[in-house]
Structure 1
Amino acid sequence: MAEHSDGAIRGILFDVDGTLVDTNYLHTLAWWQAFRRFGHDVPMASIHRTIGMGGSTLIEHLIGEDRDTDQDETLKDTHGALFSAQWPALRAFDGAADLLRHSAQQGLAVVLATSASEEELRVLRQVIDADDAITGATNATDTGISKPAPDILEAAMKVADLTPQDTLFIGDAVWDVIAANKLGIPTICVTTGGTSEAELREAGAVEVYKDVRTLLNAAAAGKLHGLQHRSEGNNR
C-alpha cells in the first residue's frame, strides 16, 4: 500500500454499515419492502449493489430521474422505520471494536463517517461498543450530497481536523472507494458488505481484506503502513 510522503497518517475514517456492523442485507430488505409499498418492484440484487449510497442517490439510481420525487422523503422514512425494527438484532463484525481501539492506541484519530440519522448512529455506536476509542462521528445532519459524492468524508475529516494527505478510509462498498478517490484519500476495504475483492480493487481500493478481524491482524503485524508509522511520524 502506498504511504503518504511523510508516512504520518493522523486519522482513520471508518464507514459503519457493512464495514463495522453487519447491516447491508438488512438495509437491502428494508429498501425492498419500502419500494414495494409504493408500487416499485425493484430486485433485491439491484438494491444490494447500491447499498453504500445515500438514500436520495440510491432512490434516483434505482427508480430513475423521472420518478415522483415528492415520494423520496416518504420512501426514506419508510426504509428507516422498517430498518429500525431490526435494531435489536444488529451485531458488530468480529474485531470491529478491537480495530478501533488498536487505531486509537497508535495515536490516530478515529472518526465514524456515516450519513445515518442521529438516532441510528446512537444505536450503531452501542452495537460497536468502542466509544472509548472514537474521536467523533458524522450523521445525516452533517452531510450534503451523499456517496459517491465525498461530502460525508469531508465532514468526517473536519471532526478531527484532518486533511486527505494524513487520512485513511476503511469501507466496504465501491461507493466508499469512489468518494474517497475524489479527495485523494486511500481506501482499505473489507468484503463483509457483499462486494467482491475484484470490484473493490477495480474501483481503486489499495488493499482488500475478507473481514475486519483479518484487517486487524494485518495491522497488528505491522503490514498496514498507514497504521504502523504514526508514532514514527510524530517523532521526526
Structure 2
Amino acid sequence: MTEAVIFDVDGTLVDTNYLHAVTWWEAFRQYGHGVDMAAVHRAIGMGSDKLLDQLLPDDRDRDEDDAIRAAHKTLYRLFWKRLRAFDGAADLLRACAALGLKVVLASSAEGDEMEALRAALDADDAITAATSSADAEESKPAPDIVQVALERAGVPADRAIFVGDTVWDVRACQKAGLPCIAVLTGGIGADEVREAGAVAVYDGPAHLLAELDRSPIAE
C-alpha cells in the first residue's frame, strides 16, 4: 500500500532540462570543451560529478571541474525568476496529499536553487519534505537521494513510489528498491524509460493527474 510519493523536480515538475542543457553546453564551451547539445541533454538528471565524467575526456584538467560547475550555475541562475512549472504539477502534488499520501521532493539542487524551483512550483502546502544536494554523498544514478527521501517520508521502499523523467531516475529507484513512474516532460522517449524499468509512463504531470485514480500511485 502506497504511503508516500517521491517526486524528482527538474524536468519532472519544473521545465528546466533544456535550460540545464544549454547552460552546461555554454559552460563547457567557455573552458574549451566542444560537447554536442544532444549528448548534454541525455546526461541531464545525473549529478554534476557524473555528468562531467560522462561528457568530458578522462585526461582533462580536473582542476577546472569546479570552475565549470560554477559557470553552469551562474548561467542557469539567470533563468531562476522565469522558471515555469509544468501544467498540472502543483495540482498533482495537492491531489496526492489529498489522498493522504506524503509528498516528498527528491532533488539534488543546492539550497538556493531549490528555493527557486519551489517558488516556481508554488505548492509548499502539499509538500511533506524535500532533499537537496547536501543530503547525498553520491548523485544519481546512485540511490542516495532516493534513500534520503524515503527517510524523510518515514516509509520503507515497498510503501513508496517515485515519479521522475529520466533513465537515471529509474535506475536510482531500482537500486533503492521502489518503483518509478516516468513522465516524458524531460525529453526522454517512452520506449527508453520503459526499457530502463519504469512501471508506467505518462506524457506529463497533467496526464498523470488525469489518470491518478488508475495509476500505480492509487494502486
Please indicate, yes or no, whether the TM-score normalized by the shorter chain is above 0.5. yes
Q: What one-letter code is carried by the residue in structure 1 that aligns with 2:30?
A: R
Partner of residue 51 from structure 1, selected from 44, 47, 50: 44
TM-score under structure 2 normalisation? 0.98
Q: Which runs of 5+ in 1 are unaligned?
A: 1-7, 230-236
Partner of residue 75 from structure 2, selected from 65, 72, 82: 82
- The CA deviation at 1:156 is 1.0
Aligned pairs for 1:72-221 within 5 A:
72-219=65-212
SS of the aligned residue for 1:82 comes to helix
Q: What one-letter code is carried by the residue in structure 2 that aligns with 1:179?
A: A
Q: What one-letter code is carried by the residue in structure 2 that aligns with 1:160?
A: A
Q: Which moved more, 1:202-211 or 1:57-66?
A: 57-66
Q: What one-letter code is carried by the residue in structure 2 that aligns with 1:71?
A: E
> For residue 3 of structure 1, what is the aligned residue in structure 2?
none
Q: What one-letter code is carried by the residue in structure 2 that aligns with 1:15?
A: D
The alignment covers a number of residue pairs equal to 219
- The CA deviation at 1:67 is 2.1
What is the CA–CA distance in structure 1 between the aligned matches of 2:69 and 2:128, rounded to whole Å?
A: 29
Counterparts in 2 of 1:43 and 1:152: CA distance versus 1, 3 Å: same
Q: What one-letter code is carried by the residue in structure 2 that aligns with 1:149?
A: A
- The CA deviation at 1:18 is 0.4
Counterparts in 2 of 1:161 and 1:49: CA distance versus 1, 3 Å: same
Runs of 4+ in 1 over 4 A off after TM superposition: none
TM-score under structure 1 normalisation? 0.91
What is the CA–CA distance in structure 1 between the aligned matches of 2:116 and 2:188, rounded to whole Å?
A: 24
Q: Which runs of 5+ in 2 are unaligned?
A: none
What is the CA–CA distance in structure 1 between the aligned matches of 2:130 and 2:145, rounded to whole Å?
A: 10
Q: Percent identity?
A: 50
- The CA deviation at 1:161 is 1.1
SS of the aligned residue for 1:192 comes to helix
Q: What one-letter code is carried by the residue in structure 2 that aligns with 1:29?
A: V
